[in-house]
Amino acid sequence: MLREARHVTIYILITVLLGVGIALLVVAQAYYLAKVINASFLEGATFKEVQDMLLLLLGLIVLRAVMQYLSDRTAKEAAIGVKEKMREKFLNKLVANGPVYVRGERAGELLNTAIEGIEALDDYFTRYIPHLLLALLVPLLVLGFVLPKDLQSAIVLILTGPLIPLFMILIGKLAEKKSLRQWQSLSRMSAHFFDMLQGLTTLKLFARSKDQTKVIARVSDAFRANTLSVLRVSFLSAFMLEFMGMLSTAIIAVFLGVRLIEGAIPYTEALFILIITPEFYLPLRTLGLSFHAKMSGTNAANRIFEVLELAEDQGKLRTGEAEKPKLDKENVYSIFTKEDIYQEPKYIAGYGEEKRVPWLTFKNLSLSYGKDGSEVLQNINMTINYGESVALIGPSGSGKSSLLQLLLRFVEPTCGEIFVNNLPLKEIPPEVWREMIAYVPQKPYLFYGTILESLRFGRPEATLEEVRQASQLARIHDYISKLPQGYDTLVSEAGRSLSGGQVQRLAIARAFLKDAPFLLLDEVTSGLDNENERELLEALEDLCQGRTVLFTTHRMKTTIHADRILIIEKGRIIDEGSPQELLGRESLYAQFLSAKGREEQ
């Protein structure tokens, strides 16, 4: 965490210097206060005689208040700077890891880490770090003023001072496990609550909402018990630290009083030492009280850095071992242009018997991911030609979606390589490559906002007329026009206020608007009725024109218009050919088509 705070080091140093300055002001304040009391009560000085010292004392108090305000402000600025950077890095790493990693984690737990976890760093940097440095500097400063005036009091400070950090360490060992359990129970409660909100429909459908409420109550009670356990230790620690500080101050007061009666020490010096003695223990006591903030920040940071380090490891995998220059957006687009692929620029590939030119190639590609490292794709060798429409079919769990995840650069192959027009795909920056892809998933996600904002998601600069044209091509414009606010109609989170077919058509409209040359479709007609499916297929047929297309499907009739079909089973390509070729022989495709036909009857 200190490494992450390097960019706010100046704020931390200013906070510490202001703390040292405040300690010096306290010493000066104690010195003049002792002189005023001695002059007024023992020497019989008048108000006018001590007026200057009283005004100086007032100035010291005001200056101390100003420096305390500035100290709190700079400490807060340091914490804000660290939290802002950490939250940005955390979210960037989640995005860099992609949906494959996020699907393997509990969304509520990640959300709690991104919000409450990073927020827990606030006290760590505003209280613990500055107080840790002040606990080292201020006692030495106070000791430097006491030692020349009274050796006996200095020895008491030297002997009793280390007892407070020692006790703090012992208490910390007891509280560390309790604080970790508190953080884990908070993350578990957040994850359960988020799951319940997402699955509320299912809970109501199966009449299990009361059971889930009991689970939430049990998890909440565990968090309550862990929190109270931590607070008990914290209160005990605070009591003991205050008690030890007061006891040590009382011992010095007794020694000073005895010697004052004997006339062994002047009254002014004795009172000065007695006033600044609590300042010797104050930073140590404050550090002890901030120890809980340290544990909370450390527990949260452990989870934060677990994600950051995992993301960094996966990022290294993406870049490849060799240091190669990456293409930018301008020259990467050349791999999609016909002039760069065909020897004769005027030649345009069409459907039918015309010769196809190899464009996307998979060579000896395998993929393993997940916590168990299971292999989902094995030794894939295939080619997709430029301008070709390829259907990828196979049983559920055969690896179809994983193949799309590879093309979207959400995961990297365990071995083997993908080439685009003979160029290794890993040499193209993922963000540049994705600009050339239009992806329509099985369940498109719509963020909360207007329909217009959802449609412009992939192309924010698009004009309203371009948005309308894309909507017309996707067969959704008429529906939007009938809404009271039209394209300014608000859509709820995840598009829950729309039907499945409407969400799919909005996703297709986004693909039309993006106008990318490579199109990926993942089970886009799944779960739709016949009427919605027919309209969707008409829109998709227009969308596929002039583009290289790879789509997965369980609806066999959607494969009839494909140029070629690839059949995948258990992570391997087991057969391929045109629909006519596969139907002409006893293939898995023919079996699928026959089975689907019987289901529809």
For residues 123 and 290, the answer to whether their CB atoms sit within 8 Å is yes
Q: Of all helices (H) and strands (E), which one includes residue 88?
A: helix 47-103
Q: What is the pLDDT of residue 62?
A: 95
Per-residue pLDDT of 92-108, as tens digits, reads: 777 776 676 666 666 66
Instruction: Return the residue matching tokens 């100003």.
Output: 66
Per-residue pLDDT of 272-308, as tens digits, reads: 999 999 888 888 878 776 766 677 777 677 777 777 7
Q: CA-CA distance, 338 to 349, in Å (whole number)?
A: 9
Lowest mean pLDDT among 156-170, 463-477, 582-596: 582-596
For residues 367 and 413, the answer to whether their CB atoms sit within 8 Å is yes
pLDDT band, residue 344 (cuts 50/70/90)? very low
Q: What is the mean pLDDT of residues 549-571?
A: 82
Per-residue pLDDT of 8-30, as tens digits, reads: 889 889 998 998 999 999 999 99
Q: CA-CA distance, 155 to 337, in Å (whole number)?
A: 84
Q: What is the mean pLDDT of residues 388-412?
A: 86
Q: CA-CA distance, 59 to 190, in Å (whole number)?
A: 50
Assigned token pair, 57: 């004392």
* Residues contacting 330, CB < 8 A, separation 6+: none
Q: CA-CA distance, 115 to 5, in Å (whole number)?
A: 18
End-to-end CA distance of the chain: 64
Maximum CA extent, the chain: 120
Q: CA-CA distance, 400 to 567, in Å (whole number)?
A: 9
Q: CA-CA distance, 399 to 117, in Å (whole number)?
A: 36
Handedness of CA 433, 545, 99, 556 (dihedral sign): negative
pLDDT band, residue 345 (cuts 50/70/90)? very low
Average pLDDT, the chain: 78
- Residue 417: beta bridge partners? 363
Lowest mean pLDDT among 152-161, 405-414, 437-446, 552-561: 552-561
- Residue 550: beta bridge partners? 390, 520
Q: What is the mean pLDDT of residues 39-67?
A: 89
Q: Which of 336, 303, 160, 364 shows the shortest CA–CA distance to 245?
A: 160
* Single-letter residue type at 118: I
Q: What is the pLDDT of residue 354?
A: 45
Lowest mean pLDDT among 71-75, 446-450, 487-491: 446-450
Q: What is the pLDDT of residue 339?
A: 42
The answer on pLDDT for 338 being more than 50 is no
The answer on pLDDT for 351 being more than 60 is no
Phi-psi region of 517 (alpha: psi -120 to 50; beta: other; left: phi over 0): alpha
Q: What is the pLDDT of residue 594?
A: 62
For residues 183 and 296, the answer to whether their CB atoms sit within 8 Å is yes
Q: CA-CA distance, 532 to 505, in Å (whole number)?
A: 9
Per-residue pLDDT of 136-146, as tens digits, reads: 888 889 889 98
The DSSP 8-state label assigned to residue 6 in this structure reads G
pLDDT band, residue 372 (cuts 50/70/90)? low
The answer on pLDDT for 513 being more than 90 is no
Whole-number percent of the chain with pLDDT over 70 = 80
Whole-number percent of the chain with pLDDT over 90 = 7
Q: What is the pLDDT of residue 104?
A: 61
Q: What is the pLDDT of residue 166?
A: 78
Phi, psi for 393 (deg, rounded to 5)? -125, 160
Per-residue pLDDT of 224-273, as tens digits, reads: 888 888 777 777 777 777 788 888 889 889 988 888 888 888 888 899 99
Q: What is the mean pLDDT of residues 300-320?
A: 57
The answer on pLDDT for 63 being more than 90 is yes
Q: What is the DSSP string of 109-135?
A: HHHHIIIIIHHTHHHIIIIIHHHHHHH
Q: CA-CA distance, 319 to 330, in Å (whole number)?
A: 20
Q: What is the pLDDT of residue 587?
A: 66
Q: Which domains does the chain have, with CATH numbers?
A: 86-309 (1.20.1560.10), 447-515 (3.40.50.300)
Lowest mean pLDDT among 376-385, 402-411, 465-474, 558-567: 558-567
Instruction: Return the residue matching tokens 């300042």.
Output: 279
Is the model more confident about 560 or about 266? Answer: 266
Q: What is the pLDDT of residue 363?
A: 92
Q: What is the DSSP string of 234-270?
A: HHHHHHHHHHHHHHHHHHHHHHHHHHHHHTSS-HHHH
